Amino acid sequence: MKPRCFPLQLNKAIETKLFKRLRSVPFPINGLSVYSCFSNQIDMKPGHTTKYLILTLLLALGIASYAQRIIPQPAEMVAGKGSYTLPAEVTVSASAGLDIEAAGLTAYLKETFGLGSRKTSGKAAIRLIRDPSLKTGSEGYSLTIGKAGVKIEAATNAGAFYGIQSLKQLLYKRGVVVQAAHVTINDRPRFAWRSYLLDESRYFQGKELVKKVLDEMAMLKLNIFHWHLTDDPGWRIEIDSYPDLTRIGSKRDSTVTGSGPNRRIGKAHSGFYTKAEIREILAYAAARHIKVVPEIEMPGHSSAAIAAYPWLGVTKQAIRVPTHFGVFQDVYDVSDPRVTTFLHNVLNEVIDLFPSDIIHIGGDEVRFEQWENSASVAAYKKKHNLSSSADLQIFFTNNMSAYLAGKGKRMMGWNEILGSKIHDYSDTRPVTGKLAPNTIIQFWKGELDMITDAVSKGYDVVNSYHLFTYLDYSYQSIPLKKSYDFDPVPAGLDPRYTAKILGSGCQMWGESTPDAAAVYRQTFPRIAAYAEVNWTPAASKNFEAFSRQLEFFLQRWRSMGIHAGS
Ligand code: ACM
């Protein structure tokens, strides 16, 4: 029977005090009825005080608890009655091949609760089962917590890993023991593409920050680290065949702070990843079921490379690595065969390093003035029967796509690679070229019907619409609720095309984040909202409930030295 809840208004100050007290209650769930009573109240009357009052009364009677949730909220989660207490030494059994996932769990139990654990092939408190015949999908899992303990089942390692991430949020300390409320979860993601972009060209952050971000991505079930490694103000990846890319291209004499338009602070900035460091990060990400997709910008956003090797540029003139941020005129001379060879060689080394089946080639914000003014480019366009610069970009992009396809890789780029006219400097002439069919389009700017246009032409799309997903934007322009409410499937999209939306990304562009604290402030807590955007069925989203569970992460982040923004 559905419990009845009686609305009652409390004085605002008392409510706030009570709420603070209750949020610090260290133990969750006991009883589906209490949970459903609360969630009904929350859904029906946000901000209502009833839930706090009932909880207080139940606490006073010693029978109550707090409805637990997970971020991202699972597809199906049914609370049971009672709770399971982990033994003082936790026994863990794991199917063959789940050693890394099991080790991650036992490390968490030790670090968070001081609980020791032991592997067993017999009866175990926590059972991790991988069985390819299960119908949990490539990333789904089921998690049961009952009298017999904890059971996580999945068809894949990724699924088992995500089951463990959910379990971590369900465990709590009560007195001297660690417990989890009885629950049954059947879960799988809404979208396959759940990415976080880190721009390290503007400011190099280094591997400790990257690892911290990867840890939190994993906990939130984000699965793609989109690593923006090259751009105008810095080249950040070691390339053996072109050492000046990092010797020259990774350094700038001066830089700007985020506050005030292009304010120079006169301080030099530099940094890049060696191949050994990249391999270390790739291994770290792989252990957390995160694919690293490198982005190597072409043919624009290439000033740092041109500063290293001036023959890469259209003018062939020496330039310096820019000391401010923006969109620059210097672009690759795509008519020069040496440039094609250079890009192929760079891609070869990138492909050797990154196991990702997808390589991102940028392609955004290309200024065409240098191409328009170049006799060599004009002759090249004539030879290939190309009537506009946008068509030349498509021709160039298709050649790169074919090159990558020959290496078994799929190309991805920002939506300008379709020839979209989204800037005041875009080529206004009609576009006749057709982008290679297997390309993934990352939509960031323009009218939303450009997404419809792309999917109806057969392209897969990752929706990173800047007005909703750019982490460099202030909390005034993208508050947490706006991040949370984003739907990667644009309203009105013909359901035939829904499957062409692979998911979405959140983008930490680096212009105004010179240090780790700034990256954390912009990233957290919005990254948690994007996790739920990409994982949770739209109908199960609930911002109030999400906000309550966010307390778990805010505490966790504080303990790690991550101070979230607001
Ligand atoms: C972009 O923000 N230029 C993709």
In this predicted structure, what is the pLDDT of residue 275?
98
In this predicted structure, what is the pLDDT of residue 256?
80
Of the residues 118, 153, 187, the one at which a domain ends: 187
Residues 289 and 363 placed together within one structural domain of the fold: yes
Q: How many CB atoms lie within 10 A of CB 428?
A: 8
Task: Look at residue 67 and tell me if it is in a domain.
Answer: no
Checking if the pLDDT of 58 tops 60, the result is no
Task: Look at residue 70 and tell me if it is in a domain.
Answer: no
Range of the domain at 56: 5-60
Distances (CA, A) of 43 to 6, 46, 228, 546: 14, 6, 40, 12
Residues 514 and 378 placed together within one structural domain of the fold: yes
Q: How confident is the model at residue 261 (pLDDT cuts 50, 70, 90)?
A: low
Which residue of 416, 445, 469 sits with most ligand 1 atoms within 8 Å of its CB, as the best mutation to test the pocket? 445
Of the residues 163, 187, 211, the one at which a domain ends: 187
| Residue 356: partners with Cβ closer than 8 Å, 6 or more residues away | 291, 292, 293, 294, 409
Q: Is 472 in the pocket of ligand 1 (CB under 6 A)?
A: no
The closest residue, in CA terms, to atom 2 on ligand 1 is 444
DSSP codes of every residue in 292-335: EEEE---SSS-HHHHHH-GGGBSS----PPPSS-S--S--B-TT
Task: Look at residue 256 and tell me if it is in a domain.
Answer: yes
Checking if the pLDDT of 63 tops 60, the result is no
Residues 201 and 93 placed together within one structural domain of the fold: no
Cα gap 476→131, rounded to integer Å: 47
Asked if 412 contacts 464 with a C-beta cutoff of 8 angstroms, the reply is no
Cα gap 440→461, rounded to integer Å: 6
47: DSSP letter: T
Task: Look at residue 566 and tell me if it is in a domain.
Answer: no
Amino acid at 488: P
- Give the DSSP H or E segment for 460: strand 460-463
In this predicted structure, what is the pLDDT of residue 237?
99
Domain count, the chain: 3
Locate 507 and state its tokens: 């983008």
Q: How many CB atoms lie within 10 A of CB 44?
A: 11
Asked if 196 contacts 540 with a C-beta cutoff of 8 angstroms, the reply is no
DSSP codes of every residue in 74-110: PSEEEEEEEEEEPPSEEEEEE-TT-HHHHHHHHHHHH
Task: Write the CATH number for 280.
Answer: 3.20.20.80
Q: How confident is the model at residue 341 (pLDDT cuts 50, 70, 90)?
A: very high
Residues 176 and 200 placed together within one structural domain of the fold: no
Q: What's the CA angle centered on 138, arms 218 and 460, to 5 degrees?
A: 90
Cα gap 308→243, rounded to integer Å: 9
Residues 162 and 198 placed together within one structural domain of the fold: no
In this predicted structure, what is the pLDDT of residue 258?
58
* Residue whose entry in the numeric block shows the structure tokens 């069925």: 537
Locate 442 and state its tokens: 């990352």
Q: Is 364 in the pocket of ligand 1 (CB under 6 A)?
A: yes
Locate 78 and state its tokens: 């049914």
Q: Is 336 in the pocket of ligand 1 (CB under 6 A)?
A: no
| Residue 245: partners with Cβ closer than 8 Å, 6 or more residues away | 235, 237, 238, 239, 304, 305, 308, 309, 346
Mean pLDDT of all residues in 476-495: 97
Q: Is 511 in the pocket of ligand 1 (CB under 6 A)?
A: no
Amino acid at 542: N
Checking if the pLDDT of 214 tops 90, the result is yes
Task: Look at residue 300 and tell me if it is in a domain.
Answer: yes
Mean pLDDT of the chain: 90
Percentage of the chain with pLDDT > 70?
Answer: 87
CA–centroid distance, 364 to ligand 1, in Å, is: 6
Checking if the pLDDT of 98 tops 50, the result is yes
Mean pLDDT of all residues in 36-47: 33
Strand partners, 193: 503
In this predicted structure, what is the pLDDT of residue 348?
98
Of 112, 52, 18, 194, nearest in space to 552 by CA: 112
Of 326, 167, 299, nearest in space to 233 by CA: 326
Mean pLDDT of all residues in 174-197: 98
Cα gap 468→486, rounded to integer Å: 6
Q: What is the pLDDT of residues 240-254, one digit of tens each?
A: 999 999 999 999 999
In this predicted structure, what is the pLDDT of residue 266?
83
Strand 440-443 relative to strand 410-414, pairing? parallel
Mean pLDDT of all residues in 102-113: 97
Q: Is 414 in the pocket of ligand 1 (CB under 6 A)?
A: yes
Mean pLDDT of all residues in 429-437: 95
CA–centroid distance, 407 to ligand 1, in Å, is: 26
Which residue of 226, 364, 472 sits with most ligand 1 atoms within 8 Å of its CB, as the best mutation to test the pocket? 364
Residues 217 and 126 placed together within one structural domain of the fold: no
Residues 449 and 356 placed together within one structural domain of the fold: yes
Task: Look at residue 66 and tell me if it is in a domain.
Answer: no
Mean pLDDT of all residues in 216-224: 98
Q: Is 297 in the pocket of ligand 1 (CB under 6 A)?
A: no
The closest residue, in CA terms, to atom 3 on ligand 1 is 364
In this predicted structure, what is the pLDDT of residue 17?
42
Checking if the pLDDT of 433 tops 50, the result is yes
CA–centroid distance, 180 to ligand 1, in Å, is: 43
CA of 464, closest atom in ligand 1: 4
Q: How confident is the model at residue 9 (pLDDT cuts 50, 70, 90)?
A: very low
Lowest mean pLDDT, pick from 17-26, 144-153, 396-405, 454-463: 17-26
CA of 470, closest atom in ligand 1: 2
Q: What is the pLDDT of residues 523-566, one digit of tens each?
A: 999 999 999 999 999 999 999 999 999 999 999 999 999 999 99
Q: What is the pLDDT of residues 356-404, one digit of tens each?
A: 999 999 999 999 999 999 999 999 999 999 999 999 999 999 999 999 9
Q: Is 443 in the pocket of ligand 1 (CB under 6 A)?
A: no
Asked if 421 contacts 427 with a C-beta cutoff of 8 angstroms, the reply is yes
Residues 398 and 542 placed together within one structural domain of the fold: yes
Which residue of 295, 367, 509 sits with most ligand 1 atoms within 8 Å of its CB, as the best mutation to test the pocket? 509
Strand 251-252 relative to strand 234-235, pairing? unpaired
Task: Write the CATH number for 159.
Answer: 3.30.379.10
CA–centroid distance, 105 to ligand 1, in Å, is: 37
Cα gap 153→170, rounded to integer Å: 16
CA of 507, closest atom in ligand 1: 2
Q: What is the pLDDT of residues 491-522, one digit of tens each?
A: 999 999 999 999 999 999 999 999 999 999 99
Q: How many CB atoms lie within 10 A of CB 28?
A: 24
- Give the DSSP H or E segment for 545: helix 543-559
In this predicted structure, what is the pLDDT of residue 62?
37
Residues 404 and 332 placed together within one structural domain of the fold: yes
Cα gap 510→494, rounded to integer Å: 35
Checking if the pLDDT of 204 tops 80, the result is yes
Q: How confident is the model at residue 264 (pLDDT cuts 50, 70, 90)?
A: confident
In this predicted structure, what is the pLDDT of residue 262?
58
Residues 83 and 203 placed together within one structural domain of the fold: no
321: DSSP letter: P
**Is the pLDDT higher at 444 or at 26?**
444
Checking if the pLDDT of 25 tops 70, the result is no
Percentage of the chain with pLDDT > 90?
Answer: 85
* Residue whose entry in the numeric block shows the structure tokens 């900035």: 269
Q: How confident is the model at residue 67 (pLDDT cuts 50, 70, 90)?
A: low
Residues 169 and 202 placed together within one structural domain of the fold: no
332: DSSP letter: B
Task: Look at residue 71 and tell me if it is in a domain.
Answer: no
Strand partners, 28: 66
* Residue whose entry in the numeric block shows the structure tokens 């789940």: 98
Mean pLDDT of all residues in 294-310: 98
**Is the pLDDT higher at 400 or at 9?**
400
Residues 395 and 418 placed together within one structural domain of the fold: yes
Q: How confident is the model at residue 19 (pLDDT cuts 50, 70, 90)?
A: very low
Cα gap 204→464, rounded to integer Å: 23
Of the residues 187, 213, 247, the one at which a domain ends: 187
